[in-house]
A and B are shown apart, each in its own frame.
Chain A
């Protein structure tokens, strides 16, 4: 008996569109926001809170006054919206502190140069411009504080001469690095003690280049936050690496010093160190010495963050298998070679999130300097409120300051994510 086949499909059925609940906007919502009853409740609650906040915030901010002369005027016009006029009147102070208005171009230029100077460090493609990153610190100090161009350049001249002296010594006469280093060091000291001052005097006569001097009292606003934050970040990184290595050293003295330093600094709140910088140091220095307050603060912030940095990097070092050390040793690499070529690149890669975390924390901690009377943005906020015209302004200032900090910290976090993606070698 023959089976009667009524229909045979010759072609595959074309795939039907997935159910509407699984793709597109609805699918995305279902997968990400409403995947379970718990998530659904949380989503609804979050949306509710976001709406409640924005419902008040947007009309408040959008309708804000920008051009009134005082808070009183704002209140008389419409008390329910923001009074951003305080920013119109004071944004220059929030950015530059009490820096003389006719010199605003100097911190601005310093900031633009900063952006240029970090490019070779952040992106290896531009590493050939690294020389600019080297000269940048001196340039920044000269631009910000002013004074004679030569009194800053002489530091570079002296250090370069010292380095050249060292190189020529080991190339021509000496095989012993240690002796050459000591001789070069002595040479540099002699240069700075006896030669640099007359030389600066001479250069000032031949080619006087100088900017009007601006004292540290006038530094403030975001300029100050950046001075303290960037210097702290840049200087604490190498110190942190050395401390981390020192803590793992086999030499007991070095190990003890590093452990002692790290544990002491970590055991003390930053604000205490700042008080030491601002208050206590004055008692111990001879009267009349003028040890710049910004410099004191920068040193303390650097030491503080170096101790944390050391522990973050030590975490990275501990994450490496012992085999890496042994392998590099079996290749005949010296200690420094193996650190530079094998250990550090891997350890630092592991530590990126922790390092950036410390950087961001340090940058935000710079606001603590307001407690020791420096006029950072938060300190300036209370100074501005003390002007009767703006007495009572609260949210507008903090929203603006918070936004500025967010931009910097978010930038740092974005860069660290880029770096992690780029350095990802495993799956």
Chain B
């Protein structure tokens, strides 16, 4: 029934969006990009003390805006809760959704959305107090676990314990903040959510060293930006801005040194920065220096990561699998050609 309902809604939305010109034209006509981000996900999207939007997803949208308009500020951020994010995208309230959203089969197909790639490989982890003496998730048999209800993490938890023949007692909570309170109050032995959130939380505990994020990751949570079905050109633009940021890191192009590549022998860098002869970005309707502007906006993928999730941000997440493939990670962009 729910599926049917969503299907009808999506069909309506598609019928409606059929009357759009291309999304790129709409965005250009409007003069700014509407980017759906989280109303509050540590490291990914929030507002700082002065009211400015900041975060990993925010910086991606700024790069996209810079690619289109040459101005990273030509973007309006629409904070979306997880309850309304997909409908807001389908109904055209936002042009792109960059809201730490896990790429899954049914979201890709049933909800009629196009994921543009993965900008962060997350996974579900566990935090325990060190005094518990647990070193691995396999030692958690019989534990009480604080778990956010209604999330994929809840299902992953059940699957994982069943697979390993262990039992657990769930302590349901509404959000990460409540999980944390319950965990600190001793209501549960361990609490589980995306590892990125666990790291962010641990750093701000009274004594971070008393707590441990267990090394095992029990699920795949590839997060990435997504757009509606039906406008492939727009999807290509979003995908290749993301790829450009990854390639820039691979090639060593940073916000600071981006202007010093004019004499390089690397033809791909010339194509990317628009300093060569051929203007391949015209194919998607972007200016020749679009990717130059995108990288200039917030730096390459590595810089954006460092500023929002890494050491500079205070969250201190290691690059791990999110490192470039040249450095032992799995970030790998198709060639820019």
Contacts and interface: CB of A to CB of B under 8 A. Distances in A.
Interface of A: 70-72, 75, 79, 89-90, 93, 98, 101, 217, 275, 278-280, 282-284, 286-288, 370-373, 375, 379, 382-389, 391-392, 394
B332 interface: no
B47 A388 contact: no
Interface in B10-44: 12-13, 16-17, 19-20, 38-44
Contacts of A370: 39, 81
Interface string B84-95: 100110111100
Given A279-B87, A279-B88, A286-B16, A372 B46 contact: no
Contact of B204 (A71, A98, A384): A71
B204 A217 contact: no
B93 to A, nearest CB: 6
B219 interface: no
B12 A391 contact: no
A325 B38 CA distance: 57
B227 interface: no
Contact of A388 (B9, B93, B180, B314): B314
A101 B83 CA distance: 30
Interface of B: 9, 12-13, 16-17, 19-20, 38-51, 54-55, 76, 78-81, 83-84, 87-88, 90-93, 175, 177, 180-181, 200-201, 203-206, 313-315
Contacts of A72: 203-204, 314
User: Which of B50, B204, B315 has most chain A Cβ within 10 Å?
Assistant: B204
Given A385-B177, A388-B200, A373 B84 contact: yes
Contact of B87 (A282, A385, A386, A388): A282
A72 B48 CA distance: 16
B314 A282 contact: no
A391 B201 contact: yes
Contacts of B87: 279-280, 282-283
A252 to B, nearest CB: 34
Contacts of B180: 392, 394
A48 to B, nearest CB: 22
B58 to A, nearest CB: 11
- Binding site of A, secondary structure by majority: helix, strand, loop or mixed? helix
Contact of B39 (A89, A279, A375): A375
Contacts of B80: 373
A283 B91 CA distance: 6
A387 B88 CA distance: 24
Given A383-B79, A391-B201, A287 B42 contact: no
Given A287-B19, A392-B180, A217 B78 contact: yes
A384 B79 CA distance: 13
Contacts of A287: 16-17, 19-20, 92
A386 B84 CA distance: 19
Nearest to A215: B76
A292 to B, nearest CB: 12
B84 A372 contact: yes
The 6 closest A-B pairs by CB, nearest first: A386-B40, A282-B91, A386-B46, A383-B40, A392-B204, A279-B87
Contact of B314 (A89, A372, A389): A389
A371 B85 CA distance: 11
Given A283-B16, A387-B46, A388-B203, A382 B40 contact: yes
B84 A79 contact: no
User: Which of A98, A287, A373, A389 has most chain B Cβ within 10 Å?
Assistant: A373
A283 B51 CA distance: 31
A388 B39 contact: no
